[in-house]
Amino acid sequence: MPSEIEVIRSSRRTRTVGARIIGDKIVVRIPARMSATDEEAAVAEIVAKVRKKASSTRSSDDQLIARAHELNARVLEGRATIGSIRWVGNQHNRWGSCTISTGDIRITDRLQQVPDYVLDAVLIHELTHTFIPGHGADFWDWADRAPCAERAKGYLEAYQRFGPAGQ
């Protein structure tokens, strides 16, 4: 976890404070006109949030990688080439993505609370892309090997339309 914090005052920011981890530091962007007192409080609050999210996500990323390796062996006969796999918060229109050349997979953090069979289907879908690009018949022959694949597709369709249950 980065211990160095860099604060950048931005004339384009008027009210919001943002932060993210870049390399080995946490970069915080604040409005240029923010007072020193407000800056101290805002930076402390957002750095705490970033650290909390990073620490909880890191263990979840490890679990995601272990799950992908297990699914690759059990469902895909070890055919997938796995690079990195992690949760991301910037995918709002898709469930996952795969960089075919590296085997890097990103899964939207919107799926962190879905049933296991749904997450498994998305992971198998992205893992299949590492050895079959596109969505042709061969691709679906492999991707649909996910346990409860059709049920997972229905769940995701409803989730896309109506959001998580109970909201």
Residues composing the chain: 167
pLDDT at 166 over 50: no
pLDDT tens digits for 12-69? 998 899 998 887 899 999 999 999 999 999 999 999 988 887 766 656 888 999 999 9
Instruction: Clarify whether residues 28 and 95 are in a common domain.
Output: no
The reply to whether 80 and 154 lie within a common domain is yes
- CA dist 109 and 87 (Å) reads 5
Do 29 and 95 lie in one domain? The reply is no
* This prediction's pTM: 0.67
DSSP-assigned letter for residue 95: S
Instruction: Give the other-Cβ count within 10 Å of 118's Cβ.
Output: 21
CATH code of the domain in which 152 resides: 3.30.2010.10
Whole-number pLDDT of residue 145: 97
Q: Residue 40: inside a domain, yes or no?
A: yes
Average pLDDT over residues 145-156: 96
Residues 148 and 103 in one domain: yes
Domain count, the chain: 2
Residue after which a domain boundary falls, among 20, 37, 52: 52
pLDDT at 56: 65
Rounded distance between C-alpha atoms, residue 160 and residue 54, angstroms: 26
From residue 49, how far is each of 4, 33, 58, 151 by CA, in Å?
15, 23, 14, 35
Are residues 80 and 46 located together in one domain of the fold?
A: no
pLDDT in tens, 108-150: 988 988 999 999 999 999 999 999 999 999 999 999 999 999 9
User: Is there a single domain that holds both residue 47 and residue 81?
Assistant: no
Same domain, 79 and 144: yes
Residues 83 and 119 in one domain: yes
Instruction: Write the CA distances from 137 to 70, 143, 147, integer angstroms.
Output: 24, 10, 18
Phi first, then psi, for residue 140 (nearest 5°) are -70, -30
Structural domain range at position 35: 4-52
Same domain, 47 and 10: yes
In tens, the pLDDT along 78-89 reads: 999 999 999 998
The pLDDT confidence band at residue 5, using thresholds 50, 70 and 90, is: very high
Q: How far apart are CA 47 and CA 58, in angstroms?
A: 16
Asked if residue 147 belongs to a domain, the reply is yes
Question: Looking at the domain assignment, is residue 131 inside a domain?
Answer: yes
Is residue 42 located within the same domain as residue 86? no
Q: What is the pLDDT of residue 167?
A: 41
Residues 156-160, mean pLDDT to the nearest whole number: 93
